[in-house]
Structure 1
């Protein structure tokens, strides 16, 4: 499928999706959110895709925020619908995705851009990255999960400060805050991210999918994360990947997981 606001590249089971609106610093509008949803939905069904990398085109921005021109005159009802639809189509969809999604943050990740990166399973930043949730400077709050995911990642106090001040932090501060896992030089960002993706590819895709479900359960209201872990652990014993993994280990050879 061809897209207007994003581009895709599949190489060795790693799908790189780039948000590509350079004139708008890759800002998210409704059309881009819809295209990302469609690309991810397609990737979910594509057995060739094992790991996904989300990044922005160019070096200036991952995603510089939401496209404010789209909602500057919205009513409260329209604003609520905008947030609900965005979370359903993209941000929650990314967080709950059954295949690993890594955000490679190049340049600015602000507002909806940082919220998209936080929805990914983990984040890697280039050393020129700047991150923040500036929504309160516009008279609004983060609406794509920012008030929920930022405290989970950096702690309540730091999240309160970042949101209340509407300030930005650099890549090294983000690393110190545990907002990102690694910081690389700009030119090494995608190669470094792909190297981590290749390490993921060595392991059972079925087990990874179950691990994502179990980890996410700890952060969902009303769910018993330990109970989900027990269920997923037990479920693993009925998979072909478990049989292959244990057999390979006992026979001192490399596992060749069938993904079933």
Structure 2
């Protein structure tokens, strides 16, 4: 098994109707194609399961929520079609979150980079720790946060998105992310975070499911074109990843890890 093929996605439904969807990859919870596919599938399945009332989206470990795209896999992309297919994986996860009739609560215990910020933004409510700094590093490797940009801008606005994008090598604090609207709540540690998530979910599952579904539709008004929008953005990223600039930047990054 290659390093790219590592990792897993699991889904557990509790007796109160909360579905916890969790992902893990040994490389800082980065997301290669096979995990993106499983994540989107798990979100879609939970959304149509009558036993599920609320979805919790989380990752394993305590340091990094999600490092975004798998750089190992990006290095293996050889043509535009391959590139588009890879970035479509992120589009599929965002659209699965958007279309799900169930509210999605994201538990962000650590740093979020690139696509990880997109996952947080695609949730309906986001709870984090003070260690959950964020960064959009795409511009530094010659691409851009094209696929995730609609979700991120929807939460933080264009000025904050621009700051994240242009300051591609700088982390912004969890408090900054809360002030801009990405995080709804920020806690001191994981223990406090998990207590808050449980408290929130216990309240949500006690509410009228029909009201929650109607609220979900309201939250995502004006996004019906995202299937085609994100597909077009995936094509842009898929072409840019083939550039000499990006290939060299990825090589430098991967070499520095060894």
CA distance in 1, matches of 2:103, 2:131: 24
- Output one character per residue of 1:56-113: Cα deviation in whole Å (capped at 9) or x when no partner: 101111111111111224333432332234313x111112211011111011111111
The answer as to whether partners of 1:44 and 1:98 remain within 8 angstroms in 2 is yes
Note the aligned Cα RMSD (angstroms): 2.0
Answering whether residue 122 of structure 2 is matched by residue 109 of structure 1, we say no
Deviation of 1:120 after TM superposition, in Å, equals 1.0
Give the one of 155, 158, 177 matched to 2:157.
155
Superposition pairs for residues 9-28 of structure 1, below 5 Å? 9-11=12-14, 12-21=16-25, 23-28=26-31
The answer as to whether partners of 1:123 and 1:182 remain within 8 angstroms in 2 is yes
CA distance in 2, matches of 1:44, 1:158: 31
Equivalent pairs, count: 217
2:94 paired residue number:
91
Comparing both chains, which one has the higher relative contact order based on Cα–Cα distances under 8 Å and sequence gaps of 6 or more? Answer: 2
2:48 paired residue number:
45
CA distance in 1, matches of 2:166, 2:86: 22
The answer as to whether partners of 1:14 and 1:194 remain within 8 angstroms in 2 is no
The answer as to whether partners of 2:105 and 2:124 remain within 8 angstroms in 1 is yes
The answer as to whether partners of 1:127 and 1:186 remain within 8 angstroms in 2 is no
Unaligned runs of 5+ in 2: 1-5, 227-258
Change (3 A) 1:4 1:107: closer
Unaligned runs of 5+ in 1: 223-260
CA distance in 2, matches of 1:158, 1:143: 15
- Output one character per residue of 1:5-56: Cα deviation in whole Å (capped at 9) or x when no partner: 12333222111121122x2111111111111122223212322211111111
The answer as to whether partners of 1:54 and 1:101 remain within 8 angstroms in 2 is yes
The answer as to whether partners of 1:83 and 1:143 remain within 8 angstroms in 2 is no
1:178 paired residue number:
181
CA distance in 2, matches of 1:4, 1:71: 17
The answer as to whether partners of 1:114 and 1:131 remain within 8 angstroms in 2 is yes
Give the one of 37, 59, 65 matched to 1:62.
65
Answering whether residue 127 of structure 2 is matched by residue 124 of structure 1, we say yes
TM-score w.r.t. the length of structure 1 is: 0.77
The answer as to whether partners of 2:48 and 2:101 remain within 8 angstroms in 1 is no
Give the one of 208, 213, 236 matched to 2:212.
208
- Output one character per residue of 1:118-174: Cα deviation in whole Å (capped at 9) or x when no partner: 1111211111111121100111011432x2222222221111111011122111111
1:100 paired residue number:
103
Equivalent residue of 1:102, what SS? strand
The answer as to whether partners of 1:128 and 1:186 remain within 8 angstroms in 2 is no
Deviation of 1:197 after TM superposition, in Å, equals 1.2
